[in-house]
Amino acid sequence: MRNSEYTNFRCFSLICGSKALSLPGDAAPGRWCVLPPALPVRSGPITRRSFNATLAAAALLPRPTAAASIAPVVITSDEDVTTLDPHLIRNNHPIGSLIWSLFDSLVRRRPDGTHEPRLATGWSQVSPTVWHFTLRPGVTFHDGERLDAAGVVFNFNRMNQAPWNGECQLWQQSGLVACAALDPLTVALTTAAPSSTLLYWLEEAFIGPTAYLRDTAPELVGSHPIGSGPYLFVSWQRGSQVTLRANPAYWGGAPPIRDVVFRAVPELSARLDELKGGSIDLLTGLDPDSAALAVSPVSGVRQVRGLRKMHVGIAQHGIAPLRDRLVRQALNHAVDVQLMVDTLQRGTTTRLLSVINPPNNDPALQPFAYDPQQARALLHQSGHAGFAVELAFDGRYADAQETCEAVGSFLEAVGLHPVLKAYESGHFAETLRARGFPGLYFYGFAAQIEPLVELVVFTGSAIDNASGYDNPAVDAVMRQAADVTDADARAALVRQAEGMIWNDAPWIYLWYLPALYGSSHRLEYTPRPDDYVEIYRARLAA
């Protein structure tokens, strides 16, 4: 870890080569030994129910075939999962990607932000505050339990209890106040007021088997997940990898790829070496500076437009100067974001245009112009010129240190005294959740296409409001927008809140994180812009 004391921004050279292109070729198949998935262990006496559930789960296990000689598809990221409890999703990837593979929700979010029927085949809003959802008939969980409305209600009630309600925000954010089973295949959901975001929050409200969730210790649920999704859980080697196997009884049909491994490989250089060596198939978290290094006879690079908003958060619960809007605006004028996009990001992305992702953002909003003189004037006007401030980062994003060094250099140029501090990733995440940063922090947020949801993070009571931004006027407009059923009226209120937040400058606005993936040539897969990996939609090249 580098010395935390800030040193003068060091000059860096950038080699701008030609655009990396995927080369033709196939990875040589490896050998794969088929092992049966580990079934969850239950304590206590063996009952008819538990015996039948075990038999049902065993019946789902595929028998060895010639396909067993095909090497599993291996997906890597820089961190291991912390839990596989369906109601404790803490990031889009890798936890979210695994949960999406193992479980289903009533609806699923498509890459373009529209809603796809999953465990629900349809829904209707029977009154401004009541929705009816029709469940897909014949769905079974991996342990043999059948999906029904009572089970959905049990899952939703679990999400509203501690500790799950600290992560799953269905009830808090959608305004859900009641859920009921009208018949075996119909669920009624009631909200306190009209909710235009209910479907969005349902997309990550995953459903598990009632008996298993009710009768099993939470720790075991988190380490031996049972869902109804396209993949079965096989094993989890903590700190190393999670292994999945295609579910032959999946209601949507078994996914094309049979064996999948999600591996944690902290070092990007090691992930790149394995990709080019043919031992992994999908590398997430690739940065523009390393993209060319992913190209080999067996691998290439895939890119989609990213949605994650990279920023330097400004902790308004920390040191006093940061509570002043003039200071926050000065910080934005002090940083030459376009230069950083052109150099550090190699021109692979664009600077942030709003706190709402395109195409829903207000095109009239203008980025803060790089103007060091204006920054100094605002700092002088605020009475807070020349203060020292911590700038925190961790290793989640490959270019975090370089970005913070550049930002620190720009802040130093307008008379501030930034102190860079490197955090271990787990400690960084804990500090973020606790609103514990005293100054500035480098982060990316909200790979989403839903304006009201994107703005939730800027309300005073939001769980994810790491900056502590709190403007009662914004909160009031947001509450009004959430309750309005007319789409045009709601859009106007969203624009109003969007402009207020942008001008208040709770972040130093940077850029959209480029969604770059290293991929083997044997894998046919179109990445999503929101970091989730839907491996069940992928296939192996012929």
223: in domain: no
187: in domain: no
- Tens digits of residue pLDDT in 489-501: 999 999 999 999 9
Average pLDDT of the chain to the nearest whole number:
86
- Tens digits of residue pLDDT in 255-281: 999 999 999 998 889 999 999 999 999
**Domain enclosing residue 468, as ranges:** 309-513
pLDDT at 266: 87
- Tens digits of residue pLDDT in 35-77: 233 333 333 433 434 434 443 444 444 444 444 468 999 999 9
Q: What would the mean pLDDT of 303-331 be, rounded to a whole number?
A: 95
9: in domain: no
307 or 61: which leads in pLDDT? 307
Q: What percent of the chain has pLDDT over 90?
A: 67
Choose from 66-80, 82-96, 311-325 the range with maximum mean pLDDT: 311-325
pLDDT at 69: 66
Choose the weakest-confidence range: 57-61, 226-230, 333-337, 349-353: 57-61
- Number of structural domains found in the chain: 1
Place of tokens 């969850």: 40
**Torsion of the alpha carbons at 288, 292, 296 and 301, rounded to the nearest 10:** 40
498: in domain: yes
184: in domain: no
Round to whole Å and give the CA distance between 488 and 494. 10
pLDDT at 16: 31
447 or 88: which leads in pLDDT? 88
Residue 340: how many CA atoms within 13 Å on its side-chain side?
Answer: 27
- CATH code, domain with 313: 3.10.105.10
Q: What would the mean pLDDT of 522-531 be, rounded to a whole number?
A: 91
104: in domain: no
Helix (H), strand (E) counts: the chain: 16, 22
360: in domain: yes
DSSP for 150-217? Answer: HHHHHHHHHHTSTTGGGT--HHHHHTEEEEEEEETTEEEEEESS--SSHHHHHTT-EE--HHHHHHS-
Work out the end-to-end distance of the chain between its first and last CA atoms, rounded to an integer number of angstroms: 45
Q: Are 394 and 441 in contact (CB under 8 A)?
A: no
241: in domain: no
- pTM score: 0.77
> pLDDT at residue 473 above 90?
yes
Choose the weakest-confidence range: 13-27, 198-212, 444-458: 13-27
pLDDT at 93: 82
